[in-house]
Amino acid sequence: MQRPIGIFDSGLGGLTVARAVIDLLPHESVTYIGDTLHTPYGPRDQDEVRSLSIEVMDALVAQGVKMLVIACNTASAATFDIAKRRYQDTLGIPVIEVITPAVRAATIGSTRNRIGVVATAGTIGSGAYQRAFAHAGVPDVTAVAAPRFVEFVEAGETTGDRVLDAARSYLRPLIDANVDTLVLGCTHYPLLAGAIGYVMGPAVRLVSSAQETAADVYRTLADQDLLATGTAEYRFESTSIE
């Protein structure tokens, strides 16, 4: 089918997921919406995140997408169950989120089950990662919020003293917990992987959900006979640009 895959995030971070989807599925068209008018989602309460997310997903559905990818951990935590009922169960549009793929990748690769998560305050506060890891047999996870990371990425600041100072402060509990695997629990955070990896040290494996999410997209499209074969088209939109 030539209808596009709809991907959205609170801003620029979801482009890491979009890039992985485009690389893995070069024939698939993609429509991406970054809700830059309301970024960041992390400090907002769950009800507000749900409302904003549904508004963006409704806009994607109105554009005729064949799949929805919630490329935002905060929105995945707040909205996935509602989105499945609203779009997947009612309209037959499959919905993919980014938390389960990240947990799967982290659990498979961890040598000692000493896993940490760094994410927004909203994602950490929701308990979504903690529940997902407990379901995967890893009940003890060190989770910390790093809200300024999103602000840095949205401002185009991905290195330098301010970023490193914030990383040292936020990541100290994870270093103290001696984690061997660290989930970058926000799709903005891979853009700070250099600074995060430098502070955590070479022995700690960083996990981003982008590639695993793209693999879930492929599997779902293949299982439902929705794979495209033609020439892909890409459309990128921002809610703060008229």
130 lies in the same domain as 189: yes
Residues 188, 12: contact at Cβ < 8 Å?
yes
* 147 and 214 both lie in a single domain: no
87 plus 114 within the same structural domain:
no
Whether residue 89 is found in the same domain as residue 113: no
Residues 180 and 217 grouped into a single domain: no
Backbone dihedral region for residue 127 (phi beyond 0: left; psi -120 to 50: alpha; all else: beta)? left
113 shares a domain with 202: yes
Whether 144 and 174 have beta carbons less than 8 Å apart is answered as yes
CB 55 within 8 A of CB 62: no
Residue 45's CATH number = 3.40.50.1860
pLDDT at 242: 56
- Of 88, 74, 80, 100, nearest to 14 by C-alpha is 74
For each of the chain's 242 residues, which pLDDT tens digit applies? Answer: 589 999 999 999 999 999 999 999 999 999 999 999 999 999 999 999 999 999 999 999 999 999 999 999 999 999 999 999 999 999 999 999 999 999 999 999 888 889 999 999 999 999 999 999 999 999 899 999 999 999 999 999 999 999 999 999 999 999 999 999 999 999 999 999 999 999 999 999 999 989 999 999 999 999 999 999 999 999 999 998 65
Pair 140, 160 in one domain: yes
Q: Tell me what pLDDT residue 33 has.
A: 98
- Is the dihedral angle over the CA atoms 13, 69, 32, 218 positive or is it negative? positive
SS (H, E, C) the chain: CCCCEEEEECCCCCHHHHHHHHHHCCCCCEEEEECCCCCCCCCCCHHHHHHHHHHHHHHHHHCCCCEEEECCHHHHHHHHHHHHHHHHHHHCCCEECCHHHHHHHHHHHCCCCCEEEEECHHHHHHCHHHHHHHHCCCCCEEEEECHHHHHHHHCCCCCCHHHHHHHHHHHHHHHHCCCCEEEECCCCHHHHHHHHHHHHCCCCEEECCHHHHHHHHHHHHHHCCCCCCCCCCEEEEECCCC
Question: Does 54 qualify as catalytic in the annotation?
Answer: no
Structural domain of 197: 99-207
Are residues 46 and 56 located together in one domain of the fold? yes
Residue 34 and residue 59 in one domain: yes
Measured in whole angstroms, the distance separating CA 65 from the mean position of its chain's CA atoms is 19
- Angle of CA points 140, 144, 147, to nearest 5°: 155
The residue length of the chain stands at 242
Place of tokens 């914030």: 166
Is residue 135 among the annotated active site residues? no
Is the domain of 39 the same as that of 134?
no
Shared-domain flag, residues 160 and 148: yes
- Select which of 7, 167, 186, 204 is catalytic: 186
115 vs 133, 138, 183, 195, CA distance in Å? Answer: 9, 8, 8, 19
- How many domains is the chain built from? 2
Do 66 and 124 belong to one domain? no
CB proximity list for 215: less than 8 A, separation 6 or greater: 24, 101
Q: Out of 72, 119, 143, 217, which one is annotated catalytic?
A: 72
